[in-house]
Structure 1
């Protein structure tokens, strides 16, 4: 079992309000989020893994879903707690458990903070928690190896073929892949990949 990286957690606790403002600008109209919501069972229970301030969860709740915003940052969860229709849980990836619980799982730029050695185990736990044929969305940064950014956040980077192999090995069926580039919290442009799957 691995604990969340302390330096990464410190950054998110210190910059929770700034991160929330950025999420509000970019996530509310994100077509990938809207597609994920459309793919979920109406009124279904969904997990927002590494939810940050809960912006995506708020959009899901407005659409009639029942989101659980789960994050290891206490300051992020404190912000998510203020959102109507959003349940919250202060927890790390390691604390995810259960079988056939969720009608959808949204993992938007969260699992990139997990060590590469732990990633397959986390994917397996997510697949187990996801109901059959329910949607799973994941976004990570493209690249190789592991490193810390200018803010000292820990990242694990993936190549597209590597990520696809890991998803399929965990029992997911990828059906839509998008790549792009955007400005991060560290004010650096970074390439990313997002993959929509079904369990």
Structure 2
């Protein structure tokens, strides 16, 4: 892979966009979402990086935030655009070029699709896109060698040390906080996850 997104993974989400968007969701938003919402400035600008069908982007908007949604899958972006009633960027992680634009970046279950060698650049771009003091949330599957799941999607399964390396490469952070959890993904398989909260210096 020469870019930060695997073409076969993008093709999966394009082909399965309608089914993926129709999946059942938990009634309550995850604690990580509520934590980020609480820490953001009222009315702040949030980037939903890997926005999928726009579920979380809509939840941010419902709480008064300005939201930019971005996904590498044109199929999912089209659904999100209809749901949000506004354009959604179709772009890869390595095409994020914003500078000091966002108060927060929500990268929920997305960056684990980038190969490990692309993670430092992706997080550096996120760091650059944040305003001073801006917040970064990331959740990724972990605990396995890089490879494909039973649906054919690529996962790098980054470790804590790989994420630490990428954060150091990206720039200066005022604080970082790691949590772990174990939960089921879209493929129905329970997996270990790493949840990161970081604040740009």
TM-score (norm 1): 0.90
**Deviation string for 1:16-63 (max 9, x for gaps)?**
2332233x6138521111111121121111100011111110000000
Change (3 A) 1:18 1:72: same
Helix, strand or coil at the partner of 1:117: helix
Q: Find the counterpart in structure 2 of residue 139 from structure 1.
A: 139
Helix, strand or coil at the partner of 2:100: coil
Q: Find the counterpart in structure 2 of residue 178 from structure 1.
A: 179
TM-score (norm 2): 0.90
Q: CA RMSD in A?
A: 1.9
Q: Find the counterpart in structure 2 of residue 167 from structure 1.
A: 167
- 8 Å Cα contact 1:61-1:85 kept in structure 2: no
- 8 Å Cα contact 1:181-1:189 kept in structure 2: yes
| In 1: Cα distance, 2:4 partner to 2:16 partner | 20
Q: Does 1:36 align with 2:36?
A: yes
Provide structure 1 residue ranges, at least 5 long, that are not aligned to the other structure.
none
**Deviation string for 1:140-171 (max 9, x for gaps)?**
11124310110111110122233234224423
| In 1: Cα distance, 2:182 partner to 2:99 partner | 35
Q: Does 1:66 align with 2:63?
A: no
Distance apart, 1:83 and its partner CA: 2.6
Helix, strand or coil at the partner of 2:192: strand
**Deviation string for 1:87-145 (max 9, x for gaps)?**
51111112100210111101111111111111111111110110011110011111243
Please identify, of 75-84 and 24-33, the stretch whose mean Cα deviation from structure 2 is larger: 24-33
Helix, strand or coil at the partner of 1:103: strand
- 8 Å Cα contact 1:66-1:86 kept in structure 2: no
Q: Find the counterpart in structure 1 of residue 103 from structure 2.
A: 103
| In 2: Cα distance, 1:50 partner to 1:84 partner | 15
**Deviation string for 1:2-28 (max 9, x for gaps)?**
163221012111222332233x61385
Distance apart, 1:172 and its partner CA: 3.0
Count the aligned residue pairs. 198
Change (3 A) 1:15 1:9: same
Q: Does 1:193 align with 2:198?
A: no
Runs of 4+ in 1 over 6 A off after TM superposition: none
- 8 Å Cα contact 2:57-2:69 kept in structure 1: yes
Helix, strand or coil at the partner of 2:197: strand
Provide structure 2 residue ranges, at least 5 long, that are not aligned to the other structure.
none
